[in-house]
Structure 1
Amino acid sequence: MKNLLYIFLCCSSVAVAQNAMYNNGSIRIHDTGTLGLHTNLINNAPFQDNLGTFGFYGQVTTSVTGAFIPVFYDVEMYKPFSAAILETSITATNALNLVDGDFVTYRNNPLENLKLTQNAFTVGESNLSKVDGYMLVEQKQNFFFTVGDSGYIRPLTLQSQSENVTAKCAYFFEDPNLPSTFTTSFNTNNKEKEVRAVSTTEFWDIDSSLPSTVSISWNNRSNIANLVDEYYQVGIAGWHRTQKRWVNLGSVDPIGDLNQGAVTSETFVPNDYEVITLAKMAVATELLDLDNYYVSPNGDGINDNLVIPELEESPNNRLRIYDRNGLKVFEKDNYNGEFNGYSNTNNTIYQRNAGLPSGIYFYLVFLDDLQLEYQGFLYLTDTGN
């Protein structure tokens, strides 16, 4: 924490009362200056073009209000056992030094936040000092959001394919079924098949319009042991804005154990999802249990076509069917129940569009969306041959 105090006032309409500093004119901190604030800030005039340090100090919770957003260069937080409540946003253009104490924003008003511009960065973040609410960044491709709640830092790492105009994040230590500041419930029972279970302990709100990956962690209060049996089942799920269900966002290289760990998503567009959280994902060995099938294309409406319901989990798929001698008799990309006992390949034994003889056939299914491959048998009868 700096000891030097050097303030350059551009006008005289700045006053410090017992419970607030009022800025009704304009104020500027030069590059060798430090302004330490131990009281509330009411900023009703421009407070920008700063090059020094603005510090939030003391052991009493204070607030920032007013009609104008103050724009600081370096910002320092040292308020042990207390916080600075941002009822008006603040902006840091260089260093955000988090020593002790939290910046708090109201989660029911994401427009008020702590903003970092393109060249700004954070240092010192910990359970003792973080952003308890919404944090926003400008012109950044990758960023480590130092968000959390009053007890813990619960950061999120965003890695986008290009530079975001803006990106915003907040952490919520609450049940997504009963969110306190959203107008809808994120029902953890509404989920796609790959998502076996969804955390009811915590969630994050991450906003970005670009294809991105995110990394989040769990700690001893995340109750991961109540969600999964093994740490490698942990993945990230998102509540899709239009589907209104939890969707698998991926589980890339989960690390840790049932007490603490971290996981990264596949690429997705955060703005397509209301919130994200940790989830139990189906692993490859349990995802699809493909059966052996019976196909009897006799027109009675029963088993006339080969239908594999599990392929809904991977619309990008490939089906190949072979006879018992290994000769391919049917192939279809993006299969959706087309096989009805007729070949669609030309070879020396079977002609295209000809009915296949009754018997046992062997099939392969490639699930390109999930990078999985399965095989099985089908018995064909009543094609007319």
Structure 2
Amino acid sequence: MNLFLTKNGIGFTLLYHIIVGLFGLADSGALQLTQANLDITLASNELVLINFYADWCRFSNMLAPIFDDAADKVAAEFPEPGQVVMGKVDCDREGAVASRFHITKYPTLKVIRNGQPTKREYRGQRSTEAFVSYIKKQLADPVIEFKSLKDLQDLDEKKRVVIGYFDRKDVPEYTVFRRVATNLKEDCQFYVGFGDASAQMHPPGQPIVAFRPDKARSNEEDETFKGNLSVYDEFNIWASEKCVPLVREITFENAEELTEEGLPFLILFHNPDDNEIVKKFNDVVQSELLSEKHSINFLTADGVKFTHPLHHLGKTLSDLPLIAIDSFKHMYLFPDIKDMERPGKLKQFLNDLHTGKLHREFHYGPDPVTDPPRVDGSSGSSSTTSKKPTTPPESTFKKLAPSKNRYTLLRDEL
């Protein structure tokens, strides 16, 4: 038996066989997870893909044989214990486990990496081939090694990048670096150089990690990590803050995930080559709207790809750039993109959403406007003109939210 030691001196291979013996795990198909074996399974594997299901759910029953078949193929492809497990949870039997992972629909596929749930659930095609392909992609090395500093000159300026400079690979700091990279590989690109490739960028024996922002989309500055690279949580928090920007780009691939967050969208629609307006939008959000980040999603959208929302707003590509709010009920157009950089204008637009003014005007027309005081000092009068209701179109992005027909809702919601 090929053993290698953990911190506790127990080989992973031996540990795996102990788990099998203790909990009577099946020899084929997805691993049945319970309250008893869940934590040790998550802790001892880099990647765990879990199918949360219910036996009475038709969609769960359709997925079950496919998921089991994929689990067998993944186990054959990655036989080394500690790499990956495809598991399943019977949510009726394991209610505490289902509650722990906030399961609201069946089947739900959660991805656990290094013991922590990822932000993104599995939302790809539900076929054996798709599952196997997904696992292979997830287990691919998240770090790109550069051989010379010249290799870093042509990085994609639309991507956020974390660069590590190390003496060698077999140091604890690099283990932490790579582990964090596996968590954030979909948000950042990670590069690393060893030995002579990076020697001039750091003192001997002192690895350095630097962040390079997406210079084509933001005016953020480069930054060096000043914490302890040997402490996973410390580096992971820093890297997460750098890799996940305040203003994100919405795509057809991440739209479902963004809508499921439940926050309204403030979206800049722009021509794909217009990077300057994206930078300006980023600057305004950073300087004026930072306090709103928990109440709204700040997004940019390629207006060529997302032409349908533009047509919904009565606009075309020739009207780009423009800004709109999608509240998941209606879409509201920011009156004039030229006012975006005027202090307080965009913030007032958001306030009008939060106070209900935008929705109220949809039903009753514009709020009465009080005329400014007259020269003689008497107060102005309220205007009662222009009381026709506004006509904002219905939300288009709510149609990109998770389909209720794709899952079975919890039994008490049926």
Q: Which structure has greater helix proportion?
A: 2
Structure with larger RCO (C-alpha < 8 A, sep 6+): 2
Please identify which structure carries the higher strand content: 1
TM-score over 0.5 for the alignment? no
Larger Rg: 1
**TM-score, normalised to structure 1's length?**
0.28
Q: TM-score, normalised by structure 2?
A: 0.27
